Amino acid sequence: MKKLSFLFLLLQASLFAAAQQSFQGSGPVFSPEIHGDNTVTFRIAAPQAGKVQIMSDFLPTQKYPTPFGEIDGPGMADLAKKENGVWEYTTPQALTPELYSYAFIVDGVRVNDPANVHMVRDIGVVSNVFLIGGGQADLYKVDDVPHGTVSRIWYHSPALGLERRMTVYTPAGYETRDERYPVLYLLHGIGGDEEGWITSGRAAQIMDNLIAQGKARPMIVVMPNGNAALEAAPGETSTGYTIPTLFLPKTMEGSFETAFPEIVEFIDRAYRTKADKRHRAIAGLSMGGFHSLHISKQYPDMFDYVGLFSASIMPDPKVKSPIYDDFDRKLDRQFAKHPALYWIGIGRSDFLYQINADFRKKLDARGYKYVYFENDGGHVWRNWRIYLSTFASQLF
């Protein structure tokens, strides 16, 4: 009988073998440590390192050189070497409520925090995450409220000639009730995929919390893959563990928009939806805002609610697709039907700010009604989470 307890301990030990390797005698490291006052300490055991930095969106933005000029990116700070080869950094002030992401740079190598298993892939970059609760950020928590279901489901696309994957959120109770629900189609940006809104975007937590607070109606949220040449997110396709890339074929050239009614038909067949315009919304970030704009004006009887989050507006003039023909005439036709909500959100430092201002001028000149939401910041998930929360509260 004593033998059994020993085996149990041995099992426990074996499961930690790989993990222990990383401690290299320095003992387990706790990181990030969120203190009671919302300052945060980050730690990494790196006894042989000469320099360790942290790179995060809680630090002041800094400039990065790119082939296209300098652009804003996450700030950086130095960690200090402590006992046992553990490096440490504590924020000088309390962090404001937010879902933050970070990575360490150890002697020039960008690495994830070995003590923090919580990571999110955004396109081709994996970062650790942590959450400072309070205010808006409480919407991003898995709170003690009824939870919806998140499904990865495949549909057949005759138009694109592919089996394709999407992420679908159904509100709490969907499986055990008989109700029908309205549907929000929620689209990702360039280089993104059907995982973006549910991971970086915290869409399930935002919807769970808004619905529980009575601030949004129970709804289905459909997050398809907006890259018309792809089956699914990297690693989830028959091409294997591919490298995420921004340079995808068949993107923003009309294919996805043309094929979109297939997705709506599939959802109306596979789920208990309220299958009419009055109960359908479409929204997206960046390229997804562009898709939402062009899909909603191409099919003016499909969506009564449209959300453009930091949206790209006009197609590349070199691209030829019937989708992009007659922009103004299609817009006229769409607005003649008085959409229940046409919502535009953008940050003041977003590089797409001006083209959104231009688009608003066009809408204003034609006397078209829309709701405009402007805030600080740029082309980042922090803003898109705010836009989703705000937009979803105004639906149906």
H or E segment at 355? Answer: helix 353-366
For 14: left if phi > 0, alpha if psi spans -120 to 50, otherwise beta; the answer is alpha
Contact partners, residue 310, CB within 8 Å, separation at least 6: 285, 286, 289, 345, 346, 347, 350, 352, 356, 379, 383, 384, 387
CB 334 within 8 A of CB 362: no
Specify burial of residue 108 (Cβ count, 10 A radius: 0-12, 13-18, 19+): exposed
Structure-block tokens of residue 68: 């296209």
Residues 277-316 close enough to bind a copy of itself by CB under 8 A: 286, 312, 314, 316
From the list 122-130, 327-335, 337-345, 365-373, the region that binds a copy of itself by CB under 8 A is 122-130
* Footprint (CB under 8 A) of a copy of itself, residues 186-215: 189-191
Query: In the complex, what is the shortest distance from the CB of residue 340 to a copy of itself, in angstroms, rounded to a whole number?
Result: 28
- Residue 363 binds to a copy of itself (criterion: CB under 8 A): no
- Single residue of 35, 110, 320, 348 touching a copy of itself by CB under 8 A: 110
Q: How far is residue 352's CA from residue 310's CA, in Å, rounded to a whole number?
A: 7
List 39, 59, 72, 302, residue binding a copy of itself (CB under 8 A): 72
Residues 249-268 contacting a copy of itself, CB under 8 A: none
The closest of 311, 221, 294, 309 to 256, measured between CA atoms, is 294
Residue 272 makes contact with a copy of itself by CB under 8 A: no
Q: Which is nearer to a copy of itself, 112 or 394 (CB)?
A: 112
Site for a copy of itself contains 237 (CB under 8 A): yes
- Distance in Å, CB of 47 to a copy of itself, minimum: 6
Query: Rounded to the nearest whole angstrom, what is the least distance from the CB of residue 322 to a copy of itself in the complex?
Result: 19
- Please identify which residue in the block is written with the tokens 């109306």: 268
Among residues 151, 215, 366, 374, the one that binds a copy of itself under rule CB under 8 A: 151
Q: By CB under 8 A, name the one of 9, 159, 229, 371 that touches a copy of itself.
A: 9
Is 317 a residue that touches a copy of itself (CB under 8 A)? yes
Q: Does 74 bind a copy of itself (CB under 8 A)?
A: yes
Interacting positions 158-177 with a copy of itself (CB under 8 A): 163, 165, 172, 175-176
Dig out the tokens for 366 from the structure: 């034609």
- When asked if residue 105 is in the footprint of a copy of itself (CB under 8 A), the reply is yes
Q: Are the CB atoms for 76 and 62 separated by under 8 Å?
A: yes
Handedness of CA 212, 186, 183, 313 (dihedral sign): positive
Site membership for a copy of itself, residue 352 (CB under 8 A) = yes
The phi and psi torsions of 296 (rounded to 5 degrees) equal -70, -30
Query: Between residue 11 and residue 40, which ones bind a copy of itself under the rule CB under 8 A?
Result: 11-22, 24, 30
Q: Does 385 bind a copy of itself (CB under 8 A)?
A: no
Binding flag, residue 66, a copy of itself (CB under 8 A) = yes
User: Number of residues in contact with a copy of itself, rule: CB under 8 A?
Assistant: 110
Minimum CB–partner distance for residue 276 and a copy of itself (Å):
20
Site membership for a copy of itself, residue 388 (CB under 8 A):
no
As a dihedral over the C-alpha atoms of residue 385, residue 129, residue 348, residue 386, rounded to 10 degrees, the angle is 20
Alpha-carbon distance of 196 to 236, in angstroms, equals: 14
Length reported for the chain: 396
Sole binder of a copy of itself in the list 38, 39, 41, 112 (CB under 8 A): 112
Among 40, 49, 79, 341, binds a copy of itself (CB under 8 A): 49
